[in-house]
């Protein structure tokens, strides 16, 4: 039986690909998408999630809107310069016929967790505000998460929004600390494994040629590709969130080591840094499985082949 999956997300270009990847993967059953502030404002992330699901012919998947702001300190800036002002690289997807689920995201997630007969995997690929709220408001539901896969942080590669911090953790450092200090069975997919995993123009062309869904996904990626060429001089893009969803779909894709992780919640230059104790393997109940190794060519091939299969479906 497919594993029940929830994606908590802030679409976002790579978030859109992550959703499409989940829909193309028979190993999982996408039961719910919850949205959060992050790359762009909440109303846009929510509308983008609805539109991406509609693109893939899955408007039946409910979308519940979550936190519009961080827990304590407002997020200093969005990422429109990377994702476009509306979040999907300037591509205007057709509106979805579906409406937003009337339940707040935390309520929708808690109800799904409490009623699912099977353990639910949650892939959190945006700021962790919704998950931190779930821990505080519905701890009994949070305890039923079978596996939490988080895209965020960095053990040894520094940051991508500041010298120290990765964007998702930096966007709500207090929420990230609450989640990573909990006993949830968590895998942390950070920049250590996402940065080496580059989707190049050849791979994009492969799923673009598969049909209209693939072609639209490629069009969404174009601004990301242009940004990578300008900012980093690369010929491909790092699809951070899709790699996290790959680990959610196929556990063990990434090599992980159990580590103690603390988030810097100070207001200085280190804010949002994930301090990963790499001196030893941890046996603490709050330790996190930190992704440290990846077969990048295999991960890219998995993404490309799954996206190319969407039109055939």
Express each pLDDT in 120-137 by its tens digit. 999 999 999 999 999 999
- The tokens of 33 are what? 């998408």
Percent of the chain past pLDDT 70, that is, above it, reads: 97
In this prediction, residue 81 carries a pLDDT of 66
Q: Annotated catalytic residue: which of 37, 83, 227, 240?
A: 240
Q: How far apart are CA 187 and CA 180, in angstroms?
A: 10
Helices 201-208 and 296-309 pack at an angle, to 10 degrees, of 20
Q: Is 77 exposed, middle or buried (0-12, 13-18, 19+ CB in 10 A)?
A: exposed
Q: pLDDT tens digit string along 86-108?
A: 769 789 899 999 999 999 999 99
227 in active site: no
Across the range 131-151, mean pLDDT stands at 98
In whole angstroms, what is the distance from residue 76 CA to residue 134 CA? 24
Over the range 268-283, which residues count as b (16 or more CB within 10 Å of their CB) and which as e?
A: eebbbbbebeeeeebe
What is the rounded average pLDDT of the residues 232-252?
Answer: 92
User: Helix, strand or coil for residue 48?
Assistant: helix
First vs last C-alpha separation in the chain: 19
pTM above 0.85, yes or no: yes
Encoded tokens for 176: 């990230």
Rounded Cα distance between 198 and 200, Å, is: 6
């Amino acid at each position: 039986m497919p594993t029940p999956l929830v994606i908590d997300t802030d679409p976002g270009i790579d978030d859109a690909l992550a959703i499409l990847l989940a829909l193309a993967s028979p190993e999982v059953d996408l039961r719910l998408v919850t949205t959060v502030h992050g790359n762009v404002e909440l109303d846009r992330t929510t509308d983008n999630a609805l539109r991406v699901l509609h693109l893939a012919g899955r408007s039946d998947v409910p979308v519940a809107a979550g936190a519009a702001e961080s827990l304590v300190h407002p997020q200093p800036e969005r990422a429109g310069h990377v994702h476009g002002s509306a979040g999907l690289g300037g591509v205007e997807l057709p509106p979805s016929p579906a409406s937003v689920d009337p339940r707040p995201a935390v309520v929708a997630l808690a109800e799904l967790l409490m009623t699912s007969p099977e353990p639910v995997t949650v892939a959190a690929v945006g700021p962790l505000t919704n998950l931190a709220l779930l821990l505080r408001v519905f701890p009994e539901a949070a305890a039923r998460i079978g596996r939490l896969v988080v895209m965020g942080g960095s053990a040894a590669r520094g940051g991508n929004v500041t010298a120290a911090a990765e964007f998702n953790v930096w966007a709500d450092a207090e929420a990230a600390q609450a989640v990573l200090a909990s006993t949830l069975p968590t895998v942390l997919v950070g920049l250590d494994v996402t940065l080496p995993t580059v989707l190049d123009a050849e791979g994009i062309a492969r799923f673009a040629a598969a049909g209209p869904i693939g072609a639209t996904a490629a069009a969404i990626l174009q601004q990301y590709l242009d940004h990578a060429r300008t900012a980093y001089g690369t010929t491909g893009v790092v699809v951070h969130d899709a790699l996290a969803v790959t680990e959610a779909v196929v556990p063990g894709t990434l090599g992980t080591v159990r580590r103690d992780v603390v988030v810097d919640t100070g207001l200085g230059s280190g804010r949002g840094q994930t301090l990963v104790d790499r001196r030893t393997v941890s046996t603490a109940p709050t330790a996190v499985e930190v992704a440290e190794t990846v077969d990048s060519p295999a991960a890219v091939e998995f993404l490309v082949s799954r996206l190319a299969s969407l039109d055939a479906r």
